[in-house]
Chains A and B, each alone.
Chain A
């Protein structure tokens, strides 16, 4: 926790129609190992969360001052959100290595998106 140069990454879990099926026997223990590693590790301990399915989501925009709310399921989007994690790593390569053991890589796809850099002097 003493090194200053860590970047935080939003890990977005998404479905993928071409992905493989969840296999309880293999994937449940793999997920548990991943969560445990995060909880006991020193670098990436914020628990993420699954999110609700398409029907429970809303899309919100304001256009010309008017708020427009659209209910799920957003059929035009083939991919949908499964959940997110918030991790910390020294590099994008380390972040990729951390998430590569998460079963969401198998049953869907993971986007690893760095946080925009904080201004100088803030940590």
Chain B
């Protein structure tokens, strides 16, 4: 699972005010998944901010905010963890993801490689099942 010659990158997808409106017909996510299968470790779509929480602790007290508004105003739509031989390759992989059109892709290099483990295996397995039934995601 983990190839030590490869760097790992988090591709974080967010909304973007200047993006083109989402179109299911133009969403070629399954082509992307197929094209980058050798690089993709796992990824997920994420829910909207209404379902999310912000957690901070100040002077020992925990604060939980429902439906937080991020300071940068955009929100996360999903992520993929990928391996690549260089940042340029990671950028190239990210640029072909439909979220580059419908939002923005942040390419964040990991400081350490994620090792395979039970939860990761389960996640990858679940995603493989979804990929086998693309219409289920529609």
Contacts and interface: CB of A to CB of B under 8 A. Distances in A.
What size tier do the contact residues of chain B reach? 35 or more
Given A47-B117, A57-B107, A106 B126 contact: no
A118 B109 CA distance: 27
Contact of A58 (B58, B70, B79, B91): B91
A111 B54 contact: yes
What size tier do the contact residues of chain A reach? 35 or more
Contacts of B103: 61
Contacts of B129: 122
A113 B76 contact: yes
Please classify the interface of chain B as helix (H, G, I), strand (E, B), loop, or mixed, using the class held by over half of its residues.
mixed
Interface in B14-57: 16, 18-20, 44-47, 51-57
| Residue among B101, B109, B117 with the highest chain A CB neighbour number at 10 A | B109
26 contacts: A10-B76, A14-B70, A45-B118, A46-B120, A46-B123, A49-B110, A51-B10, A56-B109, A61-B104, A63-B18, A63-B19, A67-B95, A67-B100, A69-B91, A69-B95, A78-B72, A81-B12, A92-B51, A96-B53, A109-B56, A110-B54, A111-B53, A111-B68, A113-B52, A116-B47, A120-B136
